[in-house]
Amino acid sequence: MVRVGSAAAMQNPDPSSLPDLTDAQIQKLLSTAWERIKKLIEGMDLANEYYGEGGCDRETWNQICDGLSREAMGLMMVLSGPAHPYMAKDCERAVRVTAGVTPREGGMREALLQQVAKGLLKSVLTAGQHHMVEPEEWPDLLPEAVLGAVRSAKRIKSDPTMANLRDSGFPA
């Protein structure tokens, strides 16, 4: 298995060695971030409206807060991208090596599971950096733990998209 933080897995150079962003990169960053921010504003407007109408239902608040937190996580990922331009590819490689099979070889279920695992691994590493834990400081088995959690997650297994795929079942 390739360790996420090992030299073999990570391409993250010294941040001071990265080139400045181009105008196109900055425009894409700003527009993508703004789209996330607009969704957060819409969600907050919805929450305020629901509250103003006396809404107290826990399930509704759970859904509102879940939607807001997902958008906030997405915003965090967008904004962390320029500082860590190789992280997505590093996470993809670490998950693929850990899986022992490429998405093409494993079929659609495997491709989707690896995609979810890559995103989760990137989220863990990004949150870790926010809390001053660098990728190379995580345990060697982090990609294996993340992929294992994704493969065994009941909600993922019961998702209608996964249930409708016709290729082989979930890996052991």
| pLDDT one-digit tens code per residue, 10-42 | 555 666 788 999 999 999 999 999 999 999 999
Rounded to an integer, what distance in angstroms lies between the CA atom of residue 152 and that of residue 155? Answer: 9
Distant-in-sequence contacts of 16-19, Cβ < 8 A, 24+ apart? 18/85
What is the share, in percent, of the chain residues with pLDDT greater than 70?
Answer: 87
For helices 142-152 and 103-130, give the axis angle rounded to 10 degrees.
120
* Residue 83: band (very low, low, confident or very high) from pLDDT cuts 50, 70, 90: confident
Please report the pLDDT score of residue 151 as a whole number.
94
The CA angle 99-109-142, to the nearest 5 degrees, is 30
Rounded to an integer, what distance in angstroms lies between the CA atom of residue 82 and that of residue 76? Answer: 11
HSE of 38, CA atoms in CB hemisphere, 13 A: 6
Please report the pLDDT score of residue 2 as a whole number.
44
Mean pLDDT of 55-72: 97
Tens-place pLDDT, residues 119-163: 999 999 999 988 999 888 999 899 999 999 999 999 998 888 887
Please report the pLDDT score of residue 4 as a whole number.
54
CB of 95 closer than 8 Å to CB of 123: no
User: Who's near 98: CB < 8 A, 6+ residues apart?
Assistant: 1, 2, 143, 144, 147
Q: Using the structure block, give the residue that is written with the tokens 């993508």.
A: 32
Please report the pLDDT score of residue 15 as a whole number.
67
